[in-house]
Amino acid sequence: MQGHQHPGEGEEKEELGPENAFEKSPFQLTAEDVYDISYVVGREILKISSEPQGEVPTRVAQLQFKIVRILEMLEALVNESNLTVEELKMERDNLKKEVEGLRKEGPPGNAEQLSLGPDKMIIDLTDPNRPRFTLQELRDVLQERNRLKAQLLITQEELQCYKSGISQREDQAGPMEKESTVCRPSGSSKSNEEKTIIKRLFSFKYGKRI
Amino acid sequence: MAKKTYDLLFKLLLIGDSGVGKTCVLFRFSDDAFNTTFISTIGIDFKIKTVELQGKKIKLQIWDTAGQERFHTITTSYYRGAMGIMLVYDITNGKSFENISKWLRNIDEHANEDVERMLLGNKCDMEEKRVVLKAKGEQIAREHGIRFFETSAKANINIEKAFLTLAEDILRKTPVKEPNSENVDISSGGGVTGWKNKCC
């Protein structure tokens, strides 16, 4: 109350008196206006109790108008606020439904929305036949396979060589030594590195000849 | 018996679309056999066959490639070491014939400049399903200055002739010197080590 100036105390011209709060639309009321209304009502009540009895009926009538106006404003505000609450409740329920719907459709919808680049593919990790080795790994396996295949062929040739050697030896005991040396490529140091188990077996069996 | 297994080693390569019969052509030549079931070659394989030409024993190491595009990076690394390349198409498959220019480009890109090339139109036993005329094959071969045969691995037509002709063409270009097969390094590009030259 203290902060409020009385109309007669020379306030600025633009500022209307506290009575003006009663004229405003209830939806434009501010806290200041409520204080003004409170001030005006208080002043009226004070007048009733302090002034001569003859004045009372007039004063009460004036106060009654003000109280009716206050109740009207209160009614308008309550109606308005109830309406707003209803609207907000409806909005909330709608949003809840929307969220639930999105959650249900969520996972599959998401997978399809995954935007893949032009050169990408999706791999099904549960597919036992899914691709899972790299080209380099395949390359290594193929090289190893072909290396072993080459070694097998070499070994088969060697075996053939020694088989012939044996039959040769059985046929003619004499030139055996010569034959077995010719059997090896002349001047090849590399072939020495290639002593297979078979070769070692034969060298053991036939001594220094091989 | 007092002889080495071979005097020279030639590395050959088979290329062409998937399913034209590269593996069957090779199998016919190396094992004189034919199998109708189609098993796609995985990456790269090889076979060995020794032939005799002009009194020389020539060991042919023949690399068989997968025609499928997905093995392309693996197979092209084997072009470099090849002395002869057989480009195979299927006379019953027009697409395989159209792709010849693509395969020829691959040769230009990845093989040695002096590689001996040969074009084969395979499956010539299937006359009723033919879509590529023999004249078309002859024409494209002539345009590129390479030899051409129509072959059938199944009916054993021209298979041996094609391989021997290719080997002869390579032999003709091979400098005449005392055979020293130790110089032939077959491991290059092929990853085959420890082959070297062999006893009998």
What's the 3-state SS for chain B?
A: CCCCCCCEEEEEEEECCCCCCHHHHHHHHHHCCCCCCCCCCCCEEEEEEEEEECCEEEEEEEEEECCCHHHHHHHHCCCCCCCEEEEEEECCCHHHHHCHHHHHHHHHHHCCCCCEEEEEEECCCCHHHCCCCHHHHHHHHHHCCCEEEECECCCCECHHHHHHHHHHHHHHHCCCCCCCHHHCCCCCCCCCCCCCCCCC
Question: Hey, which residues does B49 pair with through a beta bridge?
Answer: B60
CA distance linking residue B88 with residue B52, whole number of Å:
24
Distance from CA of A117 to the nearest CA of B (A): 20
String of b and e for A53-85 (b: at least 16 CB within 10 Å)?
Answer: eeeeeeeeeebeeeeeebeebeeeeeeeeeeee
Which residue stretches of chain A have pLDDT < 70? 1-15, 106-114, 168-210
Per-residue pLDDT at A209: 44
What is the chain B residue with the closest CA to A181?
A: B2
CA distance linking residue B103 with residue B109, whole number of Å:
10
- CB < 8 Å to A187, chain B: 182
The answer, yes or no, to whether ipTM is higher than 0.90 is: no
A204, burial (CB in 10 Å: exposed 0-12, middle 13-18, buried 19+): exposed
Distance from CA of B5 to the nearest CA of A (A): 9
pTM to 2 decimals? 0.58
CA distances from A62 to A51, A73, A79 (A): 14, 17, 26
Question: How is residue A129 annotated by DSSP?
Answer: T
Tens of pLDDT, residue by residue over A158-204, are: 898 888 887 766 666 544 444 343 444 444 444 444 445 545 554 54
Per-residue pLDDT of chain B (200 residues; tens, 9 = 90+): 444 678 999 999 999 999 999 999 999 999 999 999 999 999 999 999 999 999 999 999 999 999 999 999 999 999 999 999 999 999 999 999 999 999 999 999 999 999 999 999 999 999 999 999 999 999 999 999 999 999 999 999 999 999 999 999 999 998 866 545 444 444 444 433 334 444 44
- CB < 8 Å to A142, chain B: 42-44, 74, 191
* C-beta atoms of A147 and B193 within 8 A: yes
Question: Hey, which residues does B157 pair with through a beta bridge?
Answer: B152
Terminal C-alpha separation, chain A: 127
By DSSP bridging, strand B147-150 and strand B84-90 are unpaired
By DSSP bridging, strand B44-53 and strand B56-65 are antiparallel
* Calculated CA dihedral for residues A88, A90, A96, A99, nearest 10 degrees: -90
User: Could you tell me how many CB contacts below 8 A there are between chain A and chain B?
Assistant: 79
Per-residue pLDDT at B84: 98
Helix H or strand E encompassing A20:
none
| Candidate from A135, A147, A184 with C-beta closest to B192 | A147
For residue A19, which of A2, A3, A33 has the smallest C-alpha distance? A33
* Calculated CA dihedral for residues A150, A153, A157, A162, nearest 10 degrees: 100
Residue A183 near chain B (CB below 8 Å)? yes
What is the chain A residue with the closest CA to B183?
A: A188
Residue B73 near chain A (CB below 8 Å)? yes
CA angle B125-B15-B95, nearest 5°?
A: 60
Residue B131 near chain A (CB below 8 Å)? no
Phi, psi of B112 (to 5 degrees): -65, 150
Residue A135 near chain B (CB below 8 Å)? yes
* C-beta atoms of B74 and A157 within 8 A: no
| Edge-to-edge order in the sheet of strand B8-15 | B44-53, B56-65, B8-15, B84-90, B116-122, B147-150
* C-beta atoms of A154 and B194 within 8 A: yes
Residue B105 near chain A (CB below 8 Å)? no
Per-residue pLDDT at A185: 43
* C-beta atoms of A157 and B5 within 8 A: yes
Per-residue pLDDT at B177: 62
Torsion sign over Cα A172, A176, A178, A180: positive
Please name the residue that has the structure tokens 């709060």: A21
As given in the structure block, the two tokens for residue B15 are: 């290329």
* C-beta atoms of A150 and B192 within 8 A: yes
Query: Crossing angle for the helix pair A197-206 and A135-171, nearest 10 degrees?
Result: 20
